[in-house]
């Protein structure tokens, strides 16, 4: 079966520290992968998407970056976190054209 995993579920990090959030998908190949951020009580903002290994497109200028080192792995990173980076980070995938999105369970990041 096809599943998506995100970890960690919660994270508290000090300002200026690095960040690495990981998302993996099982049971499929060559999925489109997406990172979204949701601020408290707000909507979903698309941060990055990837249509293949090493192919990353950025939607919002910020101090975050994304990488896709393997077909089913998508990583969100930061070298130095800001307070404004706090939020709920969601990974999503789409198996290919003509399929809908499936979201992971999310990572709650609090920058202190």
Partner 1 sequence: QQQVKQSPQSLIVQKGGIPIINCAYENTAFDYFPWYQQFPGKGPALLIAIRPDVSEKKEGRFTISFNKSAKQFSLHIMDSQPGDSATYFCAASNYGGATNKLIFGTGTLLAVQP
The answer to whether 41 and 47 have CB atoms below 8 angstroms apart is no
Q: Is 14 exposed, middle or buried (0-12, 13-18, 19+ CB in 10 A)?
A: exposed
Provide the mask over 49-88, with x wherever binding to partner 1 is found by CB under 8 A and - wherever it is not: x-x-----x-x-----------------------------
**Which one of residues 17, 63, 105, 110 is an interface residue with partner 1 (CB under 8 A)?**
105
Strand bridging mode 107-111 / 10-13: parallel
Which residues contact partner 1 (rule: CB under 8 A)?
6, 32, 34, 36, 42-44, 46, 49, 51, 57, 59, 90, 92, 94, 97-98, 100-106, 108
């Amino acid at each position: 079966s096809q599943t998506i995993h995100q970890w960690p579920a919660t994270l508290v990090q000090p300002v200026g520290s690095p960040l690495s959030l990981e998302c993996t998908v099982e049971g499929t190949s060559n999925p489109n992968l997406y990172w979204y951020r949701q601020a408290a009580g707000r909507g979903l903002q698309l941060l990055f998407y990837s249509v293949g290994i090493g192919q990353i497109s950025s939607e919002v200028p910020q101090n975050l970056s994304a990488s896709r080192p393997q077909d089913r792995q998508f990583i969100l990173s930061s070298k130095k976190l800001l307070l404004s980076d706090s939020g709920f980070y969601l990974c999503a995938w789409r198996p290919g054209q003509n399929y809908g999105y499936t979201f992971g369970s999310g990572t709650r990041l609090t920058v202190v």
